[in-house]
Amino acid sequence: MTMDPRLTASSPGTATHCPYCALQCGTRLSGVRGAVEVRPDPDFPVNRGGLCQKGWTAPDVLGVPDRLATPLVRGADGRLAAAGWDEALDLVARRLREIRAAHGPDALAVFGGGGLTNEKAYTLGKFARLALGTSQIDYNGRFCMASAAAAQIAAFGVDRGLPFPVTDLGGADVVLLAGANPAETMPPLLRHLDRPDLIVADPRRTRTAERAALHLQPTPGTDLALALGLLHIAVTEGLVDKAYVDERTTGFDAAWARAVAWWPERVEAVTGVAVSELRAAVRMLAGAERAYVLTGRGAEQHSKGTDTVAAFINLALALGLPGRAGRGFGTLTGQGNGQGGREMGQKADQLPGYRLLTDPAAREHVSRLWGVPPDRLPGPGRSAYELLDAIGEAGGPRALLVVGSNPVVSAPAAGRVTERLGRLDLLVVADFVPSETARLADVVLPVAQWAEEEGTLTNLEGRVLRRRRLLDPPPGVRGDLEVLHALAVRLGEPAERYPCAPREVFAELREATRGGPADYSGISYERLDAGAELYWPCPEGSTGTPRMFLDRFAHPDGRARFAPVEHRDPAETPGPGFPLYATTGRVLAHYQSGAQTRRVARLAEAAPEPFVEMHPDTAARAGLADGQWALVRSARGAMRARVRCEPSLRTDTVFVPFHFPGAGRANLITHPALDPRSRMPEFKVCAVRVEAAP
Ligand SMILES: Nc1nc2c(c(=O)[nH]1)N[C@H]1C(S)=C(S)[C@@H](COP(=O)(O)OP(=O)(O)OC[C@H]3O[C@@H](n4cnc5c(=O)[nH]c(N)nc54)[C@H](O)[C@@H]3O)O[C@H]1N2
Ligand SMILES: Nc1nc2c(c(=O)[nH]1)N[C@H]1C(S)=C(S)[C@@H](COP(=O)(O)OP(=O)(O)OC[C@H]3O[C@@H](n4cnc5c(=O)[nH]c(N)nc54)[C@H](O)[C@@H]3O)O[C@H]1N2
Ligand code: SF4
Ligand SMILES: [Mo]
């Protein structure tokens, strides 16, 4: 790897951001003694000089021994072998053309990622719709933010994860965290949660729950009943902010008509949370001068995730929180560009600027910018899991390009998905490490990493940030934008339609988003590099919007909408054969499918293997002891994990992390039931039994 010769040990370093989660901690990179060194940026308000283990070790991924350095093509012997770029790209383009000619454009599919920069996400969407001509593009954000997004759009008219800066949380008196564990998933966020009293809803006593003033420990999959019950108590105890509800919202009566049936004793019976705790939670929130309600994946990754988020929004609206200074509702975005990635047009139903593909005015605006007639833009395609599950079916995808995801590990019902990927005529993966998905590919394209590239990402606050380059990519490695450019040209597209320079792409995406819900037209590299703090919507000439909804919500009438939602069971509940709930999630040391963090020695040592967290009594009943290898089995399959006894866990629930490959994949057991509105899979609850591993 080449070191930028301008760097010295004393240079202030390249100001950029961590490659991993949505907090996008500010960092400074420098080259010291031939190795890249990272330091937290003391001036960036989100992390204020803090980083988590993953951030500290991120430079290790730049030089992992199995870093992809050359394209790989699967030969007649079935093995992946090194190939030149022209050979690999020519082959991919030829096969894409053949498959399209034989089966139509929708036989070509694209799977993107919420870690991609805005420039890449934008170009990927354009590439799919124009160069491939397919409607079949979706991304891993469907597994992440989709329920929160659907509920926020319905309630507020637009979806920005946090419609306020994270630093506002530091001024709060009380914060409710429903299904989020930031002590492991966003540790520096805790700096802003020191002052408020926390109410944490989580079936596990997590490190976050340990810091809470009140820990509600619901049965997995019952948050909707929980939120209905909290609203019920707010109303019956006279704690609703009536003036706010009258002035700023609609639909209270219909929402209350559902919540009225969720009296506290019934909620206790369904959720397992004591009536006294339910009442205490509502009194804390309603009694606070400044309160926030935040949801995380624990409440959202369910086949009723959208309605669950809506129910927490109903509660927040009843208490008069959203759109008021020092109060609010928000959802904690997940991936590095989880926010921007869902606005730039890689989602099945979307055009850039958070526009809808079905909106004629949006089609007109974007197609004019792209220099094509509106009817060249395909309609909406399948959602992420449905896209993967349709492979091998009549009319389903036959070729798939994966850019920024590792679905062999991270998709629900991963055994089934892996089998489906095996039926493709062509699987192409662009990555910088040989991920589990890349290992199945026909062609692997090696791409540059965060510290080797320029771009922008949009963090959990809707703040647009610059990613800056410290190093050149290793020889033989190209950027994602260059890869898409080269493929598009080979597919007959004009070269100038796919710029390789991120700055040029940004100039174009500004125009594409102009006038849309997520308007970036007032943002430029120049403004960002001059230090401007810019949050979307940021129309040309404006200074951006750190706090949304202070005057009005984004619906035409300016009001927020209550949603009339009803509780329902998960797709699967424990019964004979599978007596326990299983839920899944994260640990501090690993990121997502683990493709990056499992390669970092310091992180692999901290969390070396899959485990199943169980109450000691539950383990004993299954004849298992702490430290023993077990199989966690559902109706879909079994995962191998080491038993970890945890007395604070509910006795009816086990927890597994999803970061491990092969037989240790949590997604071998998860249920692929989808939320009808957001198409979010039910990652957070299924029925299992745990038995000794043979
Ligand atoms: N270390 C680490 N940090 C990360 C990531 C990572 O992979 N590793 N990924 C990033 C991304 S993309 C995301 S989306 C975020 C996710 O951040 P979080 O939402 O904080 O992460 P999870 O661990 O998936 O889920 C949070 C909690 O939900 C709980 N839970 C499970 N089932 C239920 C339920 O039915 N109800 C309730 N109320 N809680 C439940 C789990 O016990 C868990 O503690 O983290 C980001 N940060
Ligand atoms: N059971 C269970 N499953 C889950 C979840 C859960 O809580 N439980 N959470 C879900 C959630 S919230 C998420 S976000 C998904 C995430 O799951 P994945 O989509 O698998 O996410 P990653 O592991 O980050 O995979 C990203 C891949 O792309 C590569 N990559 C990173 N950046 C780039 C880039 O800029 N360009 C290219 N070409 N490649 C890049 C990485 O090396 C890695 O191989 O998992 C979901 N799956
Ligand atoms: S909290 Fe997120 S952004 Fe910050 S260092 Fe850790 S992984 Fe990186
Ligand atoms: Mo995520």
Angle at 373 between CA 368 and CA 375, to 5 degrees: 125
**Ligand 3, closest atom to CA 336?**
3
Mean predicted confidence (pLDDT) in 72-93 = 98
The mean pLDDT value of the chain amounts to 96
Judged by its nearest atom, the ligand closest to the C-alpha of residue 439 is 2
- Which of 463, 494, 525 is where one domain is finished? 494
Q: Does residue 165 sit in the same domain as residue 285?
A: yes
- Ligand 1 pocket, residue 684 CB under 6 Å: yes
pLDDT class of 319 with cuts at 50, 70, 90: very high
Tell whether ligand 2 has an atom less than 6 A from the beta carbon of residue 122: no
Q: Are both 355 and 427 inside the same structural domain? A: yes
Distance CA 528, CA 541 (A): 14
CA of 21 to the centre of ligand 3 (A): 5
Q: How far is the CA of 9 from the centre of ligand 4 (A)?
A: 35
Decide if 301 is inside a domain. Answer: yes
Count CB neighbours of 669 within 10 A. Answer: 27
Q: Distance (Å, rounded) from C-alpha 633 to C-alpha 690?
A: 6
Q: What is the DSSP string of 568-595?
A: ---S---BTTB-EEEEEE--TT--TT-T
Do 121 and 176 lie in one domain? The reply is: no
139 and 152 assigned to the same domain? no
Measured in Å, residue 186 CA sits from the centre of ligand 2 at: 16
Place of tokens 């597209």: 493
Interatomic CA distance for residues 526 and 532, integer angstroms: 9
- Cα–ligand 4 centroid distance for 462 (angstroms): 16
Report if residue 392 sits inside a domain: yes
204 ligand 1 Cβ < 6 A:
yes
Distance CA 105, CA 248 (A): 46
Q: Measure Cα distances from 89 to 404, 497, 517 in Å.
A: 18, 18, 36
Same domain assignment for residues 295 and 227: yes
When pLDDT is averaged across residues 19-25 and rounded to a whole number, the result is 98
Q: How confident is the model at residue 620, as a pLDDT?
A: 98
H or E element at residue 282: helix 275-287
Choose the residue to mutate in 140, 686, 688 for probing ligand 2, maximizing ligand atoms within 8 Å of C-beta.
140
Structure tokens at 491: 């597919």
Contact 53, 475 (CB under 8 A): no
The answer to the question of residue 521 being in a domain is: no
Contact between residue 523 and residue 464 where contact means Cβ atoms under 8 Å apart? yes
Residue 515 within any structural domain of the chain: no
pLDDT (0 to 100) of residue 4: 47
> Is 230 part of any domain?
yes
Ligand 3 atom at minimal distance to the Cα of residue 187: 1
Say which CATH number the domain at 486 has: 3.40.50.740
pLDDT class for 601, splitting at 50, 70, 90?
very high
CA of 160 to the centre of ligand 1 (A): 19
Give the rounded distance of the alpha carbon of 206 from its chain centre: 20
Cα of 339 vs centre of ligand 2, distance in Å, is 15
CA distance 123 to 153: 24
Q: Give the residue whose CA is nearest to atom 16 of ligand 1.
A: 334
What is the distance in A from the centroid of ligand 1 to the CA of 590?
12
Query: Closest Cα to atom 5, ligand 3: which residue?
Result: 55
Task: Determine contact, residues 384/138, Cβ cutoff 8 Å.
Answer: yes
3-class DSSP assignment, residue 381 = coil
CA 337 to centroid of ligand 4, rounded, Å: 10
**Ligand 3 atom closest to the CA of 185, numbered from 1:** 1
For residues 28 and 13, give the distance between their C-alpha atoms in angstroms, rounded to a whole number: 5
CA–CA–CA angle 144, 148, 149 (5° rounding) = 95
Pairwise CA distance, residues 537 & 521, whole Å: 9
Q: Are residues 229 and 289 in the same domain?
A: yes
Q: Whose CA is nearest to atom 4 of ligand 1?
A: 185
Report DSSP state, residue 507: H
Q: Is the CB of 221 under 6 A from ligand 2?
A: no
Structure confidence at residue 34 (pLDDT): 61
Distance CA 27, CA 394 (A): 48
pLDDT at position 31 is 87
pLDDT at 190 > cutoff 70: yes
288 and 432 fall within a common domain: no
Strand, coil or helix: 110: strand
Contact 533, 463 (CB under 8 A): yes
Interval between CA 114 and ligand 4 midpoint (Å): 8
Domain coverage including residue 210: 146-332
Tell me which residue has its CA closest to atom 1 in ligand 1: 588
Residue 1 in this model has a pLDDT that exceeds 60: no
Kindly give the interhelix angle for 264-271 and 275-287, rounded to the nearest 10 degrees.
Answer: 110
Task: Measure the N-to-C terminal CA separation of the chain; round to a whole number of Å.
Answer: 45
Same-domain status, 369 and 482: yes
Domain assignment of residue 592, yes or no: yes
Task: Tell me what pLDDT residue 3 has.
Answer: 45
Q: Give the pLDDT mean for 630-636.
A: 98
Same domain, 130 and 239: no
Q: Judge if 298 and 364 occupy the same domain.
A: no
Domain limit, last residue, from 462, 494, 526:
494
Residue 420 DSSP label:
H
pLDDT band per the 50, 70, 90 thresholds, residue 32: low
Which of 17, 54, 459, when mutated, tests ligand 3's pocket best, judged by the most ligand atoms within 8 Å of its CB?
Answer: 54
Q: Give the CATH number for residue 212.
A: 3.40.228.10
Rounded to the nearest angstrom, the distance between the alpha carbon of 179 and the centre of ligand 3 is: 19
333-371: pLDDT as tens digits: 999 999 999 999 999 999 999 999 999 999 999 999 999
Q: Which atom of ligand 3 is nearest to the CA of 56?
A: 5
Which residues have C-beta under 5 Å from ligand 4, the single-atom ion? 144, 334
The string of pLDDT tens digits covering residues 403-460 is 999 999 999 999 999 999 999 999 999 999 999 999 999 999 999 999 999 999 999 9
CA of 189 to the centre of ligand 1 (A): 14
Looking at residue 341, the DSSP 8-state letter turns out to be: G
CATH of the domain at 6: 3.30.200.210
- Tens digit of pLDDT for each residue in 494-503? 999 999 999 9
Question: Which residue do the tokens 């910088």 mark?
Answer: 432
Pocket of ligand 3 contains residue 26 by CB under 6 Å: no
Number of domains within the chain: 4
The domain boundary, picked from 332, 351, 378, lies at 332
Task: Give yes or no for residue 298 CB within 6 A of ligand 2.
Answer: no
Contact call for residues 506 and 474 (beta carbons, < 8 A): no
Closest-lying ligand 2 atom to the alpha carbon of residue 407: 20
Nearest listed ligand to the Cα of residue 298:
1
pLDDT at residue 13 is higher than 90? no
Instruction: Provide the residue count of the chain.
Output: 694
Q: Which atom of ligand 2 is nearest to the CA of 594?
A: 23
**Which ligand 1 atom sits closest to the C-alpha of 52?**
1
CB 623: neighbour CB atoms within 10 A?
11
Instruction: Tell which one of 331, 339, 410 to mutate to probe ligand 2, the residue whose CB is within 8 A of the most ligand atoms.
Output: 410
Q: Is 55 in the pocket of ligand 1 (CB under 6 A)?
A: no
Q: Name 301's Cβ contacts closer than 8 Å, sequence gap at least 6.
A: 143, 147, 680, 681, 682, 683, 684
Smallest-distance ligand from the CA of 588: 1
Per-residue pLDDT of 122-170, as tens digits, reads: 999 999 999 999 999 999 999 999 999 999 999 999 999 999 999 999 9
CA of 312 to the centre of ligand 1 (A): 17
Q: State the distance from the centre of ligand 1 to the C-alpha of 50, rounded, in angstroms.
A: 20
Please indicate, yes or no, if residue 568 is contained in any of the structural domains.
Answer: no
Mutate which of 586, 644, 671 to test ligand 1's pocket (most atoms within 8 Å of Cβ)?
Answer: 586
Q: Does the N-terminal peptide bond of residue 537 adopt cis geometry, omega within 30 degrees of 0?
A: yes
Buried b (16+ CB within 10 A) or exposed e, 362-387: bbebbbeebeeeeeebbebbbbbbbb
Let me know whether 42 and 59 are in one domain: yes
Q: What's the rounded Cα separation, in Å, for the pair 55 and 17?
A: 9
Amino acid at 359: D
CA of 330 to the centre of ligand 2 (A): 23
Which residue of 190, 293, 297, 581 sits with most ligand 1 atoms within 8 Å of its CB, as the best mutation to test the pocket? 297
Question: What DSSP string runs through 203-220?
Answer: SS--HHHHT-SEEE-PPT
φ, ψ at 457 (rounded to 5°): -130, 160
16, 17, 20, 603: residue to mutate for ligand 3 pocket, most atoms within 8 A of CB? 20
- Do 368 and 402 have their domain in common? yes
**pLDDT of 9:** 43
Residue type, 647: P
In a domain? residue 536: no
Alpha-carbon distance 248 to 240, whole Å?
Answer: 13
The residue contributing the CA closest to ligand 3 atom 6 is 52
